[in-house]
Structure 1
Amino acid sequence: MTTIDYYNTNATQLIDRYDNANMSSLHQLLLKHIPKNSSILDIGFGSGRDLQFLHDNGYDIWGIDPSAKFVENAKKRFPSQQNQFLEESVPFDRKDIGFPKDLDVVITIAIWMHLKHSKYKDVVESIVSVLKSQSTVVISYSQGSRANDERYFEEVDLDYITELFNVKGFTLVEMLTNNDSLDRDSLTWVTVVFKND
């Protein structure tokens, strides 16, 4: 089973599980670093939990996710913005996605540990391609062991990610470490904020 198959097969349970996670520390970090009325692309939005928080706080939300089930759920969750959620994975070609404008912010929550290191450069290129010249990128990923998990994982190489963003003019401005919001003792979460001023 591929990672995308896993998410499609288990979408109903995962949506409920993700929606009930305590994400207050991440959400406060987003409010701290993202100016009001910003346009935000959530890459790998899953249940739409973070999109909901951003929407409720007045942000212009966009999203891509490789899971057809998650995209279907987002379109139901935000009926007036259905055309802003697309079934797509990273890396992507901006021309294929057809974003009508440059965005202020990209967030990627819980996707980097699914990426092969060989994809990092192309993923960073994809992210930068949809952003304005003054913009913010927020990345959150897990560290630790995952026994009996069918999904694909690699340990995240933050030094390499930072190097790739530095080349594009971004600076790492904050790093936060948290316990797992779903109470898995074996996992911790790292969230980093890059800004291009």
Structure 2
Amino acid sequence: MKNELQELYGNIDIYLFDQLLKGTYDDCQSVIDVGCGGGRNIVYFLKNGYDVFGIDPNAGTIEAVKGLSLKLAPLNLLENFVVANAEDMPFSDAAFDLAICSAVLHFAKDNAHFDAMLNSIWRVIKPGGYLFARLASDIGIETQVRDMGNGRYLLPDGSERFLVNEQTLLRYTHKLGGQLHEPIKTTNVQNLRCMTTWCLRKL
């Protein structure tokens, strides 16, 4: 059973898997994974006829994900996968039904960089489309992180990340013209770090 699930979904983010189980993206056709890495979150989409795109700043990673696409979905265009940064995506406005951005936004250098990345991602989502984001936050560990300035914090696990809180996410939801279609959910990993799931629909 484990091997069957892995074959169907890959090493998918569990909260993205939750959205698939709920049928949230059943009417989507085009998907972009922003910071796609080796493609862990796009196996299901490749195997189920979606038009799948991906960007990553690492050229070697993009070559690997092209190989994955060729293996799982030979008709999916290899030029859909591009070496690029989240804040400067080479795609037209309103190009995608769904943008996935898992464990990327917390690498923002500062507040301006976070804003640029998020606005760039939002730009390429169609009206009625979706953003699935997972990012580090201070929700639940507010007193255990050290402010390093410009939105970046030192976490108890020793890493330094750009962190958001609930107020930041709600403010951006309103500013972007989005709507939460799921409550904001946060996983606390033994008070060492927290990861928050932010699921929006573009109005």
TM range (shorter): 0.7 to 0.9
Distance 1:107 1:76, change over 3 A: same
Looking at structure 2, the residues matched to 39 and 75 of structure 1 have their Cα atoms a distance apart, in angstroms, of 17
Are the counterparts in 2 of residues 74 and 85 from structure 1 also a CA contact under 8 Å? yes
Aligned 1:147-162 pairs, distance under 5 A = 147=158, 153-162=161-170
TM-score of the aligned structures, taking structure 1 as reference length: 0.73
Structure with the greater relative contact order (CA < 8 A, sep ≥ 6): 1 or 2?
1
Looking at structure 2, the residues matched to 46 and 85 of structure 1 have their Cα atoms a distance apart, in angstroms, of 11
Number of residues paired by the alignment? 170
| Structure 2 runs not aligned, ≥5 long | 1-8, 138-154
Are the counterparts in 1 of residues 100 and 131 from structure 2 also a CA contact under 8 Å? yes
Which residue of the partner structure matches residue 13 of structure 1? none
1:176 alignment partner, one of 185, 190, 197: 185
Moved more, 81-90 or 187-196: 187-196
1:123 alignment partner, one of 114, 117, 131: 117
Which residue of the partner structure matches residue 103 of structure 2? 110
Which residue of the partner structure matches residue 201 of structure 2? 195
Which residue of the partner structure matches residue 65 of structure 1? 56
Shift of 1:25: 3.7
Q: List per-residue Cα deviations over 1:66-113 (Å, max 9, x = no partner).
A: 111211111111123311111101211x5xx14597211111000111
Tell me which structure has the larger Cα radius of gyration.
Answer: 2
Shift of 1:41: 0.9
Q: List per-residue Cα deviations over 1:94-144 (Å, max 9, x = no partner).
A: 5xx145972111110001111122223222321222121211111102345
* AA of the residue aligned to 1:86: V
Which residue of the partner structure matches residue 141 of structure 2? none
Looking at structure 1, the residues matched to 86 and 14 of structure 2 have their Cα atoms a distance apart, in angstroms, of 27
Which residue of the partner structure matches residue 91 of structure 1? 87
2:46 alignment partner, one of 23, 47, 55: 55
Shift of 1:190: 1.3
RMSD value, Cα? 2.8
Identity of aligned residues (%): 21
Are the counterparts in 2 of residues 71 and 85 from structure 1 also a CA contact under 8 Å? yes
Looking at structure 2, the residues matched to 191 and 110 of structure 1 have their Cα atoms a distance apart, in angstroms, of 10
Are the counterparts in 2 of residues 37 and 60 from structure 1 also a CA contact under 8 Å? no
| Structure 1 runs not aligned, ≥5 long | 1-18
* AA of the residue aligned to 2:105: W
